[in-house]
Each structure stands twice: as structure tokens, then as C-alpha cells.
Chain A
């Protein structure tokens, strides 16, 4: 069964450092998302991506964040200068339809120290 894969599963970084979280969405999907979850609580939307551009973003997704689809398979989230409060579980998701169910990866646990 096709699935969304994320790497690494756990990333520890020092405050102020840049991190790149990687995702491989399901191959025939066109809509891509990043969400984050702090301490197993609410799942917060960060950004959506379609047709090689951001289609929507939340207030959380400030200038420190960027997304990229560098090739036909990968979808990355970059945090330029990490802060302690960026520590969270980051989930990538993809969907084949704009209104379809999103399929989630296993997440990357980001710890900023």
C-alpha cells in the first residue's frame, strides 16, 4: 500500500540552526501539506502546496519557514533559524484530490535545544 514517508524520524538541533525536514508523498498525489503537533496535542496546519507553489499558509508559517519540491518526488520543509518553540512533531501529508482525505507520514520529531 502506498504511503507517505518522512525523514529523519527524529532531529535534534541547536537553537538558531537551519533544519530541513524531508517527505516523499504518495506518487500520484498532487496536494501536499505540512502540519505540526506539539506534545501530542492539536494538529496545526502550516502550509499547503499545489502545482509547485504554496496555495495556503497559516500564521505559524512565517518567514523562517519555506517549502520546496526540488524534484518529482521530494517535498521539504525548511526552518531557517530554529527556536525552542519550534520543537514539535512535524507531519507531511498528501492528497490526490483537493477535497480528498489526506494521508499522513509517520512524522519527524524535531527537538530544538
Chain B
């Protein structure tokens, strides 16, 4: 089975500072990894994905994520946080190939990012 862990319920950062939202995954094969953002009372909005190739993936709104196979991590980062980045962030995984996995996106529990002015 595939799973995603987001170890932090909440991340606090000052505006202008770099931010990191952590995600680790567990699959037996090759993962496709995604980050989504959810603003209050809204749906999930796709930010970026890793499929293959360069481990550093760039996405919307200046966000990027780094795939680290040895640490099974896919942390979301941004060099300079904005107050408007405050939202709920979800990591998701799809397992590609092999057995015991699923193409259904499996989501982490979410991390609330709060950017202080």
C-alpha cells in the first residue's frame, strides 16, 4: 500500500523568510508525487508534481519541491514566503508500476502554513 506522511500539523514562518513544508512517502515502487494547496472553503488546487527527471520541480506561485529518493521525501519549499501563501497544503502520491499500489492519489493529512506579516 502507498502512504504519505506530513509530520507537521502547522508551520509558522515570517513573511519574507524561506518556508519548507515536509512530506515523506512510502511506496514499494516508483512514485509520482504531487503538492496541492487549499484555501479556506475552496477545493484543492494543483501546485506541482514530480514524475521523473530533475529532482527539483518548480510549480505555481514560486513554489518548488525536491524529490529525494534515498530519504523518500518530497518537501515543498519557497524562498520567500508571502502572507497570501497562508493555506492548507497537501502532499499526494501515486504508485507507478509493480504490485500493491494504486493510481489513485493518496493524500497526506495536510499542513497548515501560517505566514506572519
A interface residues with partner B (beta carbon < 8 Å): 4, 33, 35, 40-45, 48, 56, 91, 93, 98-99, 101-107
Residues of B within 8 A of A4 (CB): 43
With contacts A48-B104, A99-B103, A104-B44 taken as known, whether A43 is within 8 angstroms of B110 at the C-beta atoms is yes
Residues of B within 8 A of A98 (CB): 103
Does B90 contact A106, Cβ atoms closer than 8 Å? no
Distance from B6 Cβ to chain A, minimum over Cβ atoms (Å): 10
**Is chain B's binding surface mostly helix, strand, loop or mixed?**
strand
Residues of A within 8 A of B32 (CB): 99
Residues of A within 8 A of B34 (CB): 101
Residue of A nearest to B36 (CB): A104
Q: Can you list 30 A-B contacts (CB < 8 A)? A: A33-B105, A35-B107, A41-B110, A42-B108, A42-B109, A43-B44, A43-B90, A43-B110, A44-B107, A45-B104, A45-B105, A45-B106, A45-B107, A91-B43, A98-B103, A99-B94, A99-B96, A99-B103, A101-B34, A101-B49, A102-B105, A103-B46, A104-B36, A104-B44, A104-B45, A104-B46, A105-B43, A106-B42, A106-B43, A107-B43
Size class of the B contact interface (CB-based, 8 Å): 20 to 34
Does A42 contact B43, Cβ atoms closer than 8 Å? no
Of residues 49 through 84 on chain B, the ones whose CB sits less than 8 Å from some CB of chain A are: 49, 51
A111 CA to B43 CA, complexed, in Å: 17
B interface residues with partner A (beta carbon < 8 Å): 32, 34, 36, 42-46, 49, 51, 88, 90, 94, 96, 102-110
Residues of A within 8 A of B109 (CB): 41-42
A98 CA to B32 CA, complexed, in Å: 11
Does B94 contact A42, Cβ atoms closer than 8 Å? no
Residues of B within 8 A of A101 (CB): 34, 46, 49
Residues of B within 8 A of A40 (CB): 88, 110
Distance from A57 Cβ to chain B, minimum over Cβ atoms (Å): 10
Task: Kindly name the residue among B90, B102, B105, B107 whose own CB sees the greatest number of chain A CB atoms within 10 A.
Answer: B105
